[in-house]
Every structure is written in C-alpha cells, then in structure tokens.
C-alpha cells in the first residue's frame, strides 16, 4: 500500500520523504488554510520535494468550465500534479476531460460505493473515500473500502482506492488488510505507526546492558 501524507506542511513532508516513507502527498483547501501559505507556491514547493510522486491539489469551482480553467493553472505547476475534483457530475466531467488529456485526477469526497463506481467510470486515477468522516456519522468507513475493493476487482477498474480522512493507525492497518491501493494520513498518524512499547523497552534494556560493557563503537 502506498503512503501519502495528508498535509501542506513542507517540513513534515521533507522529514517523512527523507525516511523513505512517502509515495505522494494530498492537500485540500482546509490544509492550505491551516498552513497559511499561498496555494500555488506551496503546491510547487511540495512537488519539488517529492518529484515524480503524485501531489493532489484541489480545484474550488463547482461548474465544469471554471473547474477546467482552475485545473489548467494547477496542472501547469508540475508534472506530478493530480488535480483533485469533488464527486459531482461537473467534477466527473472534469475528471474525464483531464484524464483523456493525460492528467492525473483524484476524485474526492467519496462517501458511497456507487460514487466510487462513477469515479472509476470517469477514468479517475484515484478515488478518495473519507473513512474518518464516515465513522463520525455512525457508519463504518472500512465497510465502504471493502465494497469499493470488491467492485473495482469485479470489473478490473484501474482507479486506485485512496483511503482518506484517516484518523488513527487502526485505519491504516485495516486499509492494508483490505488491499486499498493508497492511504493518506496526517504526518502525526504516520509517525504513530512506529510506536510500540516493547520496542522502547527493548532499546532501554539493550542500552543499559551496553553501558555495563564499558565499550564504545568506533
């Protein structure tokens, strides 16, 4: 499963990329607001940090014509931009036009398997089902991922399932078990994956015994 960082914080992106943990980045208008940066500038900087890896940048218009105009600006930033469009009829129309033109598209705000089916039919590179927001309203977001996986496999769709709105390590574990193609998570959640009390205890024990040897390395 590919790991994308769900952030517009370039320091975090650099840090995770240096550890070899990143395969791409996703942003959205709320994350751009949180970063307090100019949208086009920060997306360019992110694209340079992870060259060749998909970087999702979202258009904000709701009608096809304006979405296409915004997509023109966004996709010129770098070759690795995936234009992010909402799961609406105009968004799907934009998806089809951009895909036909060789641009990666991430269809976002997916909350049902039928919506994911539409995204695949429109040729999306990625579909983003939001598991955390689904959980928030009393549904199991992972049931949605299972349904989409089944449907995409039934028909050999190429669209990649990008599990979004990830809130904790268990979401990542479940996404990997189901066979999602990609997950995107806040950097803090990706860092949580490394934590295990037995790892910490093991390090403590080894260092304590090493100190008793009186030796140094090098």
Residues that bind ligand E4P (CB under 6 A): 6, 26, 28, 108, 128, 130, 132-133, 164-165, 184
User: At its nearest, how many Å lie between ligand E4P and the CB of residue 128?
Assistant: 5
CB of 180 to ligand E4P, least distance (A): 13
Q: Is 84 a catalytic residue?
A: yes
b or e along 82-103 (b: 16 or more beta carbons within 10 Å of the residue's beta carbon)? bbbbbbbebbbbbbebbbeeeb
Cα dihedral 12, 159, 82, 127 sign:
negative
**Closest distance between ligand E4P and the C-beta of residue 136, in Å?**
8
Q: Which residues 6+ apart lie within 8 Å of 168 measured at CB?
A: 189, 192
Structure tokens at 95: 């998806």
Give φ, ψ of 178 to 5 degrees.
Answer: -70, -25
Q: Which is nearer to ligand E4P, 28 or 159 (CB)?
A: 28
Residue 133 or 191: the one with the smaller Cβ distance to ligand E4P is 133
1: its two tokens: 């499963």
C-beta of 95 vs 155, nearer to ligand E4P: 95
**Minimal distance in Å, beta carbon 98 to ligand E4P?**
17
Rounded least distance, CB 62 to ligand E4P, Å? 17
Residue 179's CB is within 10 A of a number of other CB atoms, namely 13
Query: Looking at 104-185, which runs of residues are DSSP E strands?
Result: 104-110, 126-129, 160-163, 182-185
Decide whether 28 or 94 has the Cβ nearer to ligand E4P. Answer: 28
What are the E-state strand segments in 37-116? 55-58, 81-86, 104-110
| Residue with nearest beta carbon to ligand E4P | 165
- Find the catalytic residue in 34, 76, 84, 93: 84
Output 44 or 167, the one with its CB closest to ligand E4P.
167
Q: Which residues are catalytic?
A: 84
């Amino acid at each position: 499963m590919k790991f994308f960082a769900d952030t517009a914080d370039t320091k975090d992106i650099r840090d995770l990329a240096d550890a070899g943990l990143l395969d791409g980045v996703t942003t959205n208008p709320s994350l751009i607001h949180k970063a307090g940066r100019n949208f086009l500038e920060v997306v360019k900087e992110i694209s340079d940090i992870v060259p060749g890896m998909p970087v999702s940048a979202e258009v904000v218009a709701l009608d096809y014509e304006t979405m296409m105009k915004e997509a023109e600006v966004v996709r010129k930033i770098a070759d690795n931009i995936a234009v992010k469009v909402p799961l609406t009829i105009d968004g799907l129309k934009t998806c089809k036009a951009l895909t036909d033109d060789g641009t990666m598209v991430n269809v976002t705000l997916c909350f049902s398997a039928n919506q994911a089916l539409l995204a695949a039919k429109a040729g999306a590179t990625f579909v983003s089902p939001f598991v955390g927001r689904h959980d928030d309203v009393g549904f199991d977001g992972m049931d949605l991922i299972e349904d989409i996986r089944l449907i995409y496999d039934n028909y050999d769709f190429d669209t990649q399932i990008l599990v979004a709105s990830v809130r904790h390590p268990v979401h990542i574990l479940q996404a990997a078990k189901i066979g999602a193609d990609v997950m995107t998570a806040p950097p803090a959640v990706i860092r949580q994956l490394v934590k295990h009390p037995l790892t910490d205890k093991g390090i403590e024990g080894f260092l304590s015994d090493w100190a008793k040897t009186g030796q140094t390395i090098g």
